Structure 1
Amino acid sequence: MTLTYRLDSDVFWNYGLFIDKETGSIVAPSKYVKWREPEAVDDPQLLKFIKQSKTKQAAWFLSHCGAKSFRDNLGTKIQEFMDVDIYGACGNLTCPLSIDIYNTEGRQVCTDMLNTTYKFYFSFENSICTDYMTEKVFLNMDNYVIPILYNGVTDMQHFLPPKSYIHVNDFNSIEELANYLKFLDINPQEYANYFWWKKYYKVTDNVHKYSYCDMCMKINNWNVRKKRNQYLDVAEWFGHKACYKMGNNFK
């Protein structure tokens, strides 16, 4: 039996969940998910907040330099076209979260700064592997900041609501991506529309209890006669062969 972050695991163990506010049921991540249709956000207070408080474009907390995904190179390329504040060992700015990720009080300070000051947050993974998307996405989805994604998830609809994120792979070039972010930067209504989903869903990173319950249920109902998944080569399914070798040249 496998328990991993991959959707095709026997027991799915993810870094965050989306809960339907009306029913309280888990919506995603899931192999079978149906989201509501995105809609325009009609919230004068949110628009006022965006115009008056969010004065900076993008932030990135980065203390693990030289990752296999070459995300450092990607960030450097984006900086050619727009402003990006980098906190941590790989940048020139500091915040408690970039020094100690286990500092709960410091995390709140940095989260508040992101929420009130920045419009975008770079959620670039250190490895580009099948279904690998860490807490850096889900923790920031709980705020009013749009995550810019770079990961190995091939079908994002299984994980996040439509029009709630921006993915690097959806653009033909880094310049095209940066131009779109700058468009949102000067168009508060278009920017605000990325938070339409907050009316219907909420995010939680308390995923362990769900995974443990799922695991216990499957163990207690184990049927030796029932056909189940076979993993003839774990390295191929989950190890290095499940990750993509990335180039370090971004156009």
Structure 2
Amino acid sequence: MGCHNTKKSVLSSMKTRLVISLLCVLSLCLLNGWQTRFQATEPSSFSNRSSSRDVTILLWYWPFGRSFSLQGDVCWDLYRIPRCRLVDQRSLFPSADVVVFHNRELVQGIHKLPFDLPRPQGQRWAWMSLEAPVNNGNLGKYANIFNMTVTYRRDADITIPYGEILSKAADEHLVDDVPLNKSSLACWVVSNYRNQHKRSQVYKELSAVVPVKVYGRWTKNPLPSRALLPTISGCYFYLAFENSLSKDYITEKLWRNAYQGGVVPVVMGAPLGDYKAVLPPNSFIHVDEFASIKDLGEYLQQLAEDKKRYSEYFTWKRQWKVKLYTDWRERLCKICSQYNSLPQQKVYTDLEAWVNNT
């Protein structure tokens, strides 16, 4: 009897230990399963939005084949943009948060998208271009590929204009002298002249009303870069005519040639409202503000003769200054500034339609 009871006690103890062991194993499995499941289903936004790590921007190839140094912490050292790692080594593709592709080289067939590589979950591909829509080629084949647009357009995910107006600091509130020792009424620098361009038609009509001095390869009267602004500054007005009438397409013709050349820009390209949205009032003259080109020409003549009214086109310089964007690194670093606020799951199902929405 005592022996039977002892056997029963041993069996009971073994069962208890077995149950406890099974419960422990089950708990570990469940815990491991929950952790694995959490890691697999965790939205990419959780890690992407963390401010404790760098965002890696991989430039797949340099625009126009001209590279810049990426030594050191470029985005912080040059532009004070923190936690932004800018790289161009393709071997870093698996760890890149954003991969940037410049459209020109894709259109020309110089480079291709890396469809042969497994694309990491959460990685975003950015389409970048500073060209007007007419020069971007066939984008129909890029449906459902890109997650981000990087262009001069104000409605792009990352807006990279040719230039912008910035507020002057308190100690900068000095107005540059308006150069009034001008010898020409209007001037225009043009190399890519096409009869079918709207700007060419406007030039022909305007030059029949007022004298326009023309420089550039088209007239076989090119200006070396060092002579560009000094020459333009000798004119009252500069024809900042874009080669394409496109939404937000405002290039260095206005930002550098006119504003930095110390002349009043006569603009044509983007709609009047686009210019008003980004430029100080009374700092430019838009072709669309006149019923005819003849009216425009007569207005320019009258304005040049009235020094007081002409000088009022420069009062904006009391509060504002021009910043030019010329370095691709600054444009790329800007992605990091807005990375955490961008939609996480965005895809351009019809990139061509978006680009051509002018």
Distance (Å, rounded) in 1 between the aligned partners of 2:206 and 2:342:
50
Residue equivalent to 1:149: 267
Q: Deviations over 1:16-67 (max 9, x none)?
A: 021111279xxxxxxxxxxxxxxxxx99x64xx41xx112100001110116
Amino acid at match of 2:242: E
| Aligned equivalent of 1:123, options 219, 240, 243 | 240
Residue equivalent to 1:242: 357
Residue equivalent to 2:169: 22
Amino acid at match of 1:213: C
Task: Check the 8 A contact 2:187/2:239 in 1, yes or no.
Answer: yes
Structure 1: state its 5+ residue gaps.
25-41, 97-105, 244-251
Question: What percentage of aligned pairs have identical amino acids?
Answer: 29
Residue equivalent to 1:66: 194
Q: Deviations over 1:55-89 (max 9, x none)?
A: 21000011101165321111011011100011123
Residue equivalent to 1:133: 250
Distance (Å, rounded) in 1 between the aligned partners of 2:212 and 2:343:
53
Change (3 A) 1:67 1:132: farther
* Structure 1 residues 41-120: aligned runs within 5 Å: 46=178, 49-50=179-180, 53-66=181-194, 69-91=197-219, 94-96=221-223, 106-115=224-233, 117-120=234-237
Distance (Å, rounded) in 2 between the aligned partners of 1:124 and 1:69:
10
Distance (Å, rounded) in 2 between the aligned partners of 1:222 and 1:176:
46
Distance (Å, rounded) in 1 between the aligned partners of 2:342 and 2:270:
32
Task: Check the 8 A contact 2:166/2:321 in 1, yes or no.
Answer: yes
Task: Check the 8 A contact 1:19/1:201 in 2, yes or no.
Answer: yes
* Structure 1 residues 172-251: aligned runs within 5 Å: 172-206=291-325, 208=327, 211-219=331-339, 224=344, 228=346, 231-238=348-355, 241-243=356-358
Amino acid at match of 1:114: I
Distance (Å, rounded) in 1 between the aligned partners of 2:200 and 2:218:
8
Q: What is the root-mean-square deviation in Å for CA atoms of aligned residues?
A: 2.5
Which structure shows the bigger proportion of residues in helix conformation? 2
Distance (Å, rounded) in 2 between the aligned partners of 1:80 and 1:138:
27
Change (3 A) 1:12 1:76: same
Residue 199 of structure 1 and its aligned partner are, at CA, apart by: 1.1
Which one is further off, 208-217 or 58-67? 208-217
Structure 2: state its 5+ residue gaps.
1-147
Change (3 A) 1:89 1:217: closer
Q: Which has the larger radius of gyration?
A: 2
Partner SS for 1:242: coil
Task: Check the 8 A contact 1:21/1:201 in 2, yes or no.
Answer: yes
Task: Check the 8 A contact 1:131/1:154 in 2, yes or no.
Answer: no
Task: Tell me the matched-pair count.
Answer: 205
Task: Check the 8 A contact 1:146/1:165 in 2, yes or no.
Answer: yes
Distance (Å, rounded) in 2 between the aligned partners of 1:91 and 1:178:
22
| Aligned equivalent of 1:2, options 149, 166, 171 | 149
Residue 223 of structure 1 and its aligned partner are, at CA, apart by: 6.1
Amino acid at match of 2:286: H
